[in-house]
Chains A and B, each alone.
Chain A
Amino acid sequence: MPSPGATTITTPGDREVTMTRRFDAPRALVFEAWTNPEHVPHWMLGPEGWTMPVCEIDLRVGGTWHFVWRKADGAEMAMTGVYREVKPPERLVSTEKWGPEWPETINTLTLSEKDGTTTLTNTVLYPSTEARDAALKTGMKEGATQSFDRLARYLRTR
């Protein structure tokens, strides 16, 4: 399946990472796929070998979300946060925390639609430059080459 646009990543300020991507779908569907626990575990998986056995979403201002990823060898990663703004289908602001030793970030998702195509922009704001850079480094997990291999396999089977 051809993707309508490549993902771009920029560091527009000292404490942010911004991601942009276009999708060949109306934004109501993108918002739904991003916020419905029925859909999220099918795509938000990161590198090779991880599944998402826990995906809890209480989609309202002040509501919490909680994701857990698991690998075949038993390794686990958990992430949790609170929704601050919920404006379907255009805007979602939430906090995000990986664990007590990680800084909390504020994530802002915006979706704009034109001719049935959606442009997604997700900005992650860190409390400091150091926190952002450390997170970027760890966020790689075990390298994206594996992710590409799996993706290639996945696409071949479709």
Chain B
Amino acid sequence: MVIQLKGYGRLTPDRLNATFAALADPTRRAILARLASGEASVTELAEPFDLTQPAVSKHLKVLERAGLISRGKDAQRRPRRLEAAPLAEATDWLERYRQVWEGNFQRLDALLAKMKTTEKTRAHDTR
């Protein structure tokens, strides 16, 4: 059976691995959250996280490789900015997975309601 996802052609497995790996780290998620409110230089990013600049640069490299951030034009500050599209693709994916299970679980809700009624009837009968 061939399984094809519609609209996900651009997303290569390597790229996706990089995206999920990048998102797995809490500091990197915090950096992304900070960049969501506007671009920032390495120095500006290092401040709130209590990290050294080399440590921040390391995280930025991972984010950059995953295509989640890019560098602005200002040669002096080299501000980083958020690249929303790959991030949206990754979260979209989880959302679809979630929806499939939500479908299962809503059927389970209906079944549980039925089971509860049956159990009550049974308890009543044996009384």
**Do A and B associate with each other?**
yes
Residues of chain A having any CB pair with chain B under 8 Å: 1, 3-4, 6-11, 13-14, 17, 19, 21, 23-25, 29-30, 32-33, 39, 42-47, 75-77, 129-130, 132-134, 136-144, 147-148, 150-151, 154-155, 158
Select from chain A the residue with minimum beta-carbon distance to B115: A29
Which chain A residues lie closer than 8 Å to B5 at the CB level? 137, 140, 143
Bound Cα distance from A8 to B93, whole angstroms: 13
Q: Which of B30-38, B63-71, B96-104 contacts A (4 or more CB under 8 A)?
A: B96-104
Residues of A within 8 A of B24 (CB): 11, 13-14
Interface residues of A: mostly helix, strand, loop or mixed?
Answer: mixed
- Smallest Cβ-Cβ distance to A48: which chain B residue: B103
Q: Are B102's CB and A25's CB within 8 A?
A: no
Assess whether B75 is interfacial by the CB under 8 Å rule.
Answer: no
**A7:B101 contact, CB within 8 angstroms:** yes
* Choice from A32, A45, A129, A155 contacting B20 with Cβ under 8 Å: A129
A156 and B76 CA atoms in complex are apart in Å by: 61
Are B107 and A9 in touch, CB under 8 angstroms? no
A141:B100 contact, CB within 8 angstroms: yes
